[in-house]
Structure 1
Amino acid sequence: EILHKLKEHDINVYIIAGSHDYSSAGKTMLDVLEKAGLVENVTKIENNKLKITMDKTNTKISGLFGLKGGLEKKYYQKLDFSEVEKENGFKIFMFHTALNEFKPKELEMVEGLELNKLPKNFDYYAGGHVHYIYEGDYDKGKVVFPGALFPNNFKELEEFNHGSFYLVDDKLNLRNIRIKLKDVLSVFIGADGKSSEEVEHELMNIKDYEDKIVTIRIEGVLKSGKVSDIDFKKVLDNLNGAYVVLRNTNKLRSKEVEDIKIEGGNIENLEEDNIKEIISEDFNEEFIKNLISLLDKDKKDGERNIDFESRIIKEIKKILNLEI
């Protein structure tokens, strides 16, 4: 409906395909939208050369799709960009790829592309794929990641609260526009040194939540009581005026569980004994400990299963001195 309205007002919409737009058969719904005349895909390749799309404003646009697992990287290596780089005038390059030089620490395991692999001599580089807001420089132009149109997970709701996009003119004046659909109330409760009753009391005293998205993160070790003693149903009933309530208790533990981990000296002693039994020329003590430590790692907040698996496999290969 919105695309139809834009067409009625003679506003052109240009797209590239992202890594989530393809089916297993390599098809994409974007083809249907393009055939209906609602959008134009600017990824145009002829004889291994990337081509330019000319807008009625004389703005020149080109771009490259994104693929699952960062597989689009090979296209940046093999395609000929010389034609689009030589074009004069105001130019926009659209891409759906993380850039290694601009990735925040929490996204370090996301497959990325080196900045210098992007075609040069463009004024504006419109980035996508990674959900964070970033403005940087490359060659003569500006590189921008606008963030997601709406936060995709618990961590993004905490960090960004809202979605966003950018308005950019031909003078490269950048405006970040926030998409505020609902207010977000983020609540953090540190449970260290508190009883389960005290934590529940804090939860029951959350204020100013009406019609808001409420995120509740609780972390720490309870001094008494168990996590299951906290009546989350009662808490949710108390917050029934909220638009939605999301909670994260992944790092909340009871003292009993933590004591087992700390008595943990015993577990570590068992590990030491077992390690000594399997030490050999191929597997020394340091190697085995590193491997155990690696396999004990947890997923990071917001990390997808496929990225977590990829990170662990990559680190295992490094320890095993296998070619990555």
Structure 2
Amino acid sequence: MITLGLVGIPILSFAQQKFHITMVMPRDEQTIEVVYKDYLKKLNVDATYTFLRFSGKPGDVAELRASLQKLKTDLVYTWGTPTTLAVAGTSDSPNEDLARRNIPVVFVEVTDPVGTNIIQSFEKPGRNVTGITHVAPLAQQINTIKAYRPVKRVGYITNPAEPNSLLVLKGLAKVAAQHGFEVIDETLPLNDAGQPQASQIPAVVKRIADRKVDFLYIGPSTFLAFSHRDAVTQSALEQRLPTFCATESIVRQAKCLVGLFSNGANLGRFAAHKTAQILIQKKPADQIPSETLQRMSLLINMPVARQLDLYPPIGLLNVSEVISETAVRSAQAH
């Protein structure tokens, strides 16, 4: 066998079998999914795809599961924590239809699959679910922030409707105690239906800025770091508040200053590898560890740095990818 791309991932050469993969996401396909499908081809996995969009609203979970139940699928790919919970449920309260039909789930960009009880442990998922986490350890993220500028107060927006948000807040508090800074937390208000109010993002960011924080930390939140990333980063920029982000798209496609994360293309390849293990090698998902990529990417948005008059130290520039004015215009054009 030969290897391709990620070290140790073999190109498989078994008799061809046609598979059906259902992709469930709250957004259109992006780099992760494009690379995922392309890499499966290179791994000799012949697959067709069905795309289902999930709104992220708890009230739409039943409809999503009903749509899945109608499909004859060999595997479900999910993006993000809310979507994965909607599709697979938790270890204690699983999606009974997928469990009954023995349909595996491979997730990407789930921040803490153990903390949210999607799986029982990273090494032994304990159910027909596995996947890739994408977030650098919090201590490593904080060290990156401190390398950019000294910090005594780090701002954070809690979305009480999103499990990730509450878990990250607990993690930040623990790291803050170890690193000697204070977490300044403001909660995003919910409406009568229990959904976060996007219209309140500018006011919440202003309250954080008024409390004299040194950085706003934007964690791996589907609502804040993806669906409403422009509102969050633009509001921070208006308050002249530098932002650190734990995910890639908010730095590349919005106005986050700096981010440390797993590269989307590598996530796609690694998820494809796990998919091939399940479909071709017939390895049960509960025997495939859920993992985080060890190599992280550091990205600095120089147009934002110029607007804030907060240029990165040369040490960070030497190890980072830099977004230029040309790259920003190109991203906006597409």
When you count helix as a share of all residues, which structure comes out higher? 2
The structure that has the greater radius of gyration is 1
Q: Which has the higher strand share?
A: 1
Q: Flag the structure with more relative contact order, 1 or 2, with Cα contacts below 8 A and sequence separation at least 6.
A: 2
Report the TM-score when normalising by structure 2.
0.31
In the superposition, the TM-score normalised over structure 1's length comes to: 0.31
